[in-house]
Amino acid sequence: MVNIAVLVSGGGTNLQALIDSEKRGEIPHGKITLVVASNKEAYALERAKNAGIETAVVRRKDYSTPEEHDEALVSVLKDHQIDMVILAGYLSILGPKFIAAYPDRIINIHPSLIPSFCGKGFYGLKVHEAALEKGVKVTGATVHLVNEIPDGGKILFQKAVEIQDGDTPEILQRRVMEQAEWILLPKAAALISEQLDKEEDR
């Protein structure tokens, strides 16, 4: 069984999708055993507590350098015997130390069809604002492995979502979450946890 940590910063709807999917038996090789938030206000922490999952808060501002923040994060995960990491609406930057601690074992959900509307500065509503600004007819979500390039790792899954007349960034964000993010992230969690479970022949 692969121990999964989910890193969060906001409302935690992607975390909730993972929790519900695990409950439905759709992630047979993985178990979410820890939720780490980048701030103590994240509603995602409530969702974790309601699901009986252990939580931690690791805030970048509590550390003087990005490296110390990375080290603190890695030690919390290692203390909990975490095998793989899922970034679900996580907004802090992860440095090379963190990436190196979990090579090809970190997945992230991005709310566009990478390589469109991704990279530095593209997160949350900003992604949907840019898509509407550009006037694309189709957007969607991408789940990818995390490496040192923001939104640059190997793409695992993508799902297209139609943009409709009158869409605001908020309406579009909700549709992309419902029709793509909340489907793809559990699918990727199941795939990678199965690969890791087989690899380590647990």
Q: How many residues bind ligand GRF (CB under 6 A)?
A: 15
Query: Could you say whether residue 153 binds ligand GRF (CB under 6 A)?
Result: no
DSSP string covering 5-49: EEEESS--HHHHHHHHHHHTT--TTEEEEEEEESSTT-THHHHHH
From the list 13-21, 31-39, 150-158, 164-172, the region that binds ligand GRF by CB under 6 A is 13-21
Looking at 29, 69, 80, 110, which residue is catalytic?
110
Q: What count of residues does the chain have?
A: 202
Of the candidate residues 7, 10, 77, 83, the single one contacting ligand GRF (CB under 6 A): 10
Which of positions 15-44 make contact with ligand GRF (CB under 6 A)? 15, 44
What DSSP string describes 103-167?
A: TT-EEEEESS-TTTT-STT--THHHHHHHHHHT-SEEEEEEEE--SSTT-S-EEEEEEEE--TT-
147 within 8 A of 123, measured Cβ to Cβ: no
Active site residue 144: no
Residues from 88 through 127 that contact ligand GRF (CB under 6 A): 88-89, 109, 111, 124
Part of the chain binding ligand GRF (CB under 6 A), chosen from 9-17, 23-31, 130-138, 158-166: 9-17
Q: How far is the CB of 8 from ligand GRF (least distance, A)?
A: 6
Out of 5, 14, 19, 38, name the contact with ligand GRF by CB under 6 A.
14
Residue 151 in contact with ligand GRF, rule: CB under 6 A: no
| Interface with ligand GRF, residue 70, by CB under 6 A | no
Inter-CA distances, 125 with 27, 68, 99, 131, 137, Å: 29, 29, 25, 10, 17
Question: Is the CB of 48 or the CB of 84 nearer to ligand GRF?
Answer: 48
The residues that touch ligand GRF, with contacts defined as CB under 6 A, are: 8, 10-15, 44, 88-89, 109, 111, 124, 173, 181
Residues labelled as active-site residues? 110
